Amino acid sequence: TPVQNDLKEFFTLA
Amino acid sequence: MFEARLLQGSLLKKVMEALKELLNEAAWDCSDAGIQLQAMDNSHVSLVSLNLRAEGFDKYRCDRNLSMGMNLGSMSKILKCASNEDIITIKAQDNADTVTFVFESPDQDKVSDYEMKLMNLDQEHLGIPETDYACTIRLPSSEFARICRDLSQFGESMVISCTKEGVRFSATGDIGTGNIKLAQSAKVDKEEEAVVIEMQEPVSLTFACRYLNSFTKATSLSKSVQLSMSPEVPLVVEYKIEDIGHVRYYLAPKIED
């Protein structure tokens, strides 16, 4: 089953 | 001092509806360019980015950059007090701890003002990389809302697959499987009714339906919506707001473990 990712894996804290 | 006057107050009411299901609170960052808001939902799975340009306001003054932390539930209650025809003004003194909303009826025979306490929010700001998306799909916003509503009955995840033929939305679960295929519109007579697909390469991604449904609360803002996808990066769902700005939702994909 597909696992939900967290946005922070894609967008870095500016 | 900060003061922004919007003749079409109904837009701000609709923006409120577009935000409040996903976010409990957010910082409204005001500068002389306009108002910006960026916040993630509590689970850090989705992010909302709002931009309202200064020139879209009837009157706009921002002497010093200002970040106003607001409880969106409270703000929503206040904006419900405005009629759709009202002119809405947002104003605040510099480094104030309250913000005032003024609602003027079109013939000025009724003027209301509501003052709300501001919050100190330590907003973490995310850098969103400029992306050249593999697929962008523009479709009627009511169509997208219908697809999300219908398919979320079948499963908690939706697969969005884009090929040169068209885009397919699928969901599967205990009661069965649903597939909706939209073909690229042949003739584009009415722009906002069209399905327009631009594809660099085919993409197929899986997303949680509940966030997609929350995004469609913005449907009343625009007749069309644009989805942008690339392999293994967050989906972007964008609704334009007349000629003043946009609201963009970002949603992290679900990836096979």
Q: Residue B84 corresponds to which tokens in the numbers above?
A: 């759709």
Q: Least CA distance to A8: which residue of chain B? A: B44
Residue B256 has a pLDDT of: 84
Q: Which residues of chain B have pLDDT under 70?
A: none
Interface contact flag, A10 B233, Cβ < 8 Å: yes
Q: Compare CB distances from B127 to A3, A6, A11 and report the shortest one's residue.
A: A11
Asked if B44 has any chain A CB less than 8 Å from its own CB, the reply is yes
Q: Compare CB distances from A5 to B127, B129, B255 and report the shortest one's residue.
A: B255
Residue B187 has a pLDDT of: 74
Q: What residues 192-211 of chain B have any CB closer than 8 A to a CB of chain A?
A: 206, 208
Radius of gyration (C-alpha) of chain A in whole angstroms:
9
Q: Please name the residue that has the structure tokens 């009157």.
A: B59
* Cβ-Cβ contacts under 8 Å, A9 against chain B: 252
Q: What is the ipTM of this complex?
A: 0.95
B141 against A2, higher pLDDT: B141
What does the alpha-carbon distance between residue B92 and residue B63 come to, in Å, rounded to a whole number? 11
- Predicted confidence (pLDDT) per residue in B153-168, tens digit: 999 999 999 998 899 9
Residue B201 has a pLDDT of: 96
Residue A12 has a pLDDT of: 87
In 3D space, the residue among B158, B164, B163, B120 whose CA is nearest the CA of residue B254 turns out to be B158
What does the alpha-carbon distance between residue B256 and residue B147 come to, in Å, rounded to a whole number? 23
* Cβ-Cβ contacts under 8 Å, B207 against chain A: none
* Cβ-Cβ contacts under 8 Å, B253 against chain A: 2, 5
Residue B228 has a pLDDT of: 98
